[in-house]
Amino acid sequence: MGYVDTVLLPGETVRFRTGRHWVLYVPGLVLALAGAGCAGWTTYAYATAEFGVHVDVLWPALSAGLLGLALVLLVRAWYRRRVTEIAVTDRRVIYRSGLFRRTTSEMPIDRIEKIDVDQGLVGQMLDFGNVSVNGIACGIGADRLKRIAGPIRLRSHVIAGDHPVRVPQGPVVAEIGRPAPAATPTSATPVPADTTPAAAAR
């Protein structure tokens, strides 16, 4: 059970959940590929013995450094995705991040004035971006809602929650293609007076 499930109010329902996009893994994967390339070149250099001792020491050190840095970035990306929760309920927007030091932000739907989505070309293709939720005396900035998955869907659910569908009250309205039901007379409906000659003679 995540943080969002533990803070839901009675009768509150979750409309949308999201978190950090998998694009956070890209820098670590790029460095891992570069480190693997250096390791392959080192293996080739040792096998062919075409390089001197200086080059033989340089390439193993470079490949080890790149692979180590790639591991750090991949673990960091996994941690950031793991500890970040973003949810839109029918009452509020909830943000939570951190494990040993937790950071949370909540904003009622009815206090939201504007929600901005910032997406580049790659973000539009892979469905990620930065979101900024602004409201009355509070907000959740793009520094927190950064590189999240499904930003457009998040905005749509916030807007839908801010303008709930209301059931119309009052007289019965005819459905499309069907006539409206005839109104039944009540005791308050006035009855027209009888103006025929027979009634006038009485």
pLDDT digits (tens, 9 = 90+) for 105-164: 888 888 888 888 999 999 999 999 999 888 876 778 777 888 999 999 999 998 886 544
All residue ranges of the chain with pLDDT < 70 are 1, 49-56, 137, 161-202
- How far out from the chain centre does Cα 86 lie? 6
Amino acid at 186: T
Q: What is the pLDDT of residue 23?
A: 94
